[in-house]
Amino acid sequence: METQSINSVTPSAGGSFSFGWRKMFEKNFLTLFIAVIITGILSGPIEASFKWDDGDFNFVLGAWAVLLIILAIAWEFLVAPIISYGERYLFLKAMRDEELDIKTLFEGFRNQYADIVLTHLVIFALVGIGLVMLIIPGIIIACRLAFAPYIVMDQKMEPMEAIEESWRMTRGHGWTVFFMAIITFFLIIVGLMACIVGVLVSLMWMHAAFATLYQSVLNQKLKDSTIPIIDTYTEE
């Protein structure tokens, strides 16, 4: 039985989740499963517990707490985005039937470190400002910039170019991104009921679906931008 190509997927929530579910089980399930685990471990927040005893150690413990907070913030903005963007790119390659290498998770440290960090910072700032402005603008901005990580990794654009391109690509697809985010929320809730494995599979499905949506919108854009060659020759 011939497998469906991502080039035949239309940009939609149902099509993206359906294709993503089938594709992640075809031949790369283990690689993608391991990638989600690694990303979850390395991109998660740094946690620490302290025993707060009365005495002279409170100041020292407080200083260590401040240091850990600073390290956590630095990790969140300088390390975690590289791995997260690499994870998205790995899923995109899987949806395209390209050869996978788990080292793709760390590819950004070597090739596009500054672009990834700056893109992440700009998106964080824009979404944050939007959320302060009655929340809804922040949700709109988050939906419209959902493709920026893929664009940085896939099309090798600089931060502002990737953000502008994501805004253009998601024009007319903002509601689709929003509905997919809502679906993902409920998928994770269901995954929690099935313990850790269920959550991991839900995250895999989410990444596969969003990678599929990005590629299907990109295919549509390339198709629409194709200018037919008009034969200007006329018989005399």
pLDDT digits (tens, 9 = 90+) for 155-174: 999 999 999 999 999 999 99
In whole angstroms, give the CA distance from residue 204 to residue 31. 11
Question: What is d(CA 42, CA 25) in angstroms, rounded to the nearest whole number?
Answer: 24
SS3 call for 228? coil
Quick one: angle between helices 80-95 and 195-224, nearest 10? 70
pLDDT band at 60 (very low <50, low <70, confident <90, very high): low
- Mean per-residue pLDDT, 23-46: 88
Percent of the chain with pLDDT over 70: 86
List the structure tokens of 68. Answer: 């850990």
What pLDDT score was predicted for residue 217?
97
Residue 14 has pLDDT above 70, yes or no: yes
Grade residue 66 by pLDDT with cuts at 50, 70 and 90. Answer: confident
Positive or negative: CA dihedral 85, 91, 92, 98 = positive
Contacts of 97 (CB under 8 A, 6+ apart): 5, 6
Nearest to 20 by CA among 214, 219, 164: 214
What pLDDT sits at residue 232? 37
Grade residue 235 by pLDDT with cuts at 50, 70 and 90. Answer: very low
